[in-house]
Structure 1
Amino acid sequence: MYHQIRNIEEYPNGGATLIPTYYYQFLRLLNENIHLFLNYFFNLVYRETNQRVQYPIGVIDDGTRYLPDLVDYFSVNIYKNDC
């Protein structure tokens, strides 16, 4: 169902498989499909076959674009120690 926005890549260094989804593709989903896709994505990422992880890495590439810079956030919002 979501094969058009879910990719499977293999890293040459050790052969680990990676499931990347790109944020710009994720944004194309309708709101009601976002929760369904996330459920599908995490079930796929955390799936095990014969007690082994099938896909050790799942990434939503560029998914933190809209998070604030944590260093700036903490420097402004965390109380400074007066010691």
Structure 2
Amino acid sequence: MKIVLADDHPVFVAGVRAYFDNVPDCGVVASVTSSDALIKCLDSTPCDLVITEFSMPMNRISDGLHLLSYIQRHYRKNG
């Protein structure tokens, strides 16, 4: 499973990454620190799972429910 982490707290990202490093067939393929960086990352980095903070720095796309709705509409996998 390819995972993208989106959180602006480095300690959280490091802990989650360390956890998934020990889970077979899982790996963190990218980590970002803002909503805008997450959208840019998803444009170029295929993944199976996004783990995101609900409230992060943003410019173009607001965070929280707006971000989750945007991701669901634009990056949903078929099947």
Could you tell me the TM-score, scaled by structure 1's length?
0.29
Q: Which has the higher helix share?
A: 2
TM-score when scaled to structure 2? 0.30
Q: Which has the higher contact order (CA 8 A, sep 6+)?
A: 2
Larger radius of gyration: 1
